[in-house]
Amino acid sequence: MKNAVLLVSILLLLLQIGCTKSIRYSADEIKDFPPSIQDNVRKGEVALGMTPQQVRYAWGAPDSIRILEPVDGKTREEWIYSASAVMGVIGTKLLVFYDGKLLYVSK
């Protein structure tokens, strides 16, 4: 019985891991980005100054987006990514865009 539970747990973990590595872009879609941004997208990393499109290519669609009040006439958005596992949410990342550029990423 313990072996069956362990086997099912391992299979679920592998399924979870396998789903997180999908490619969300083609080489043609990112070819006009600066080389450093292309590298970040390929590695699945985000960096300050990236556009929402570049972040979507790197991390995929966020779990939620909240449009914030503009500041000095400039748009602001808050994106939330939640990492989940079989047992529930294991972490959350908050990203803030200001005037179309990534300004903040929570640790």
CB neighbourhood size of 73 (10 A): 6
pLDDT digits 0-9 by tens, 53-91: 999 999 999 999 999 999 999 999 999 999 877 777 689
Tell me which residue of 93, 85, 90, 36 sits closest to 60, measured CA to CA: 93
Q: Residues 3-36, buried b or exposed e (16+ Cβ, 10 A)?
A: eeeeeeeeeeeeeeeeeeeeeebeeeebeebeee
If you count them, how many residues does the chain have? Answer: 107
Q: Give all domains of the chain, ordered by start, each with its CATH number.
A: 2-105 (3.30.1450)
Whether residue 11 is predicted with pLDDT greater than 90 in this model: the reply is no
- The CA distance from 25 to 38, in Å, is 11
pTM above 0.85? no
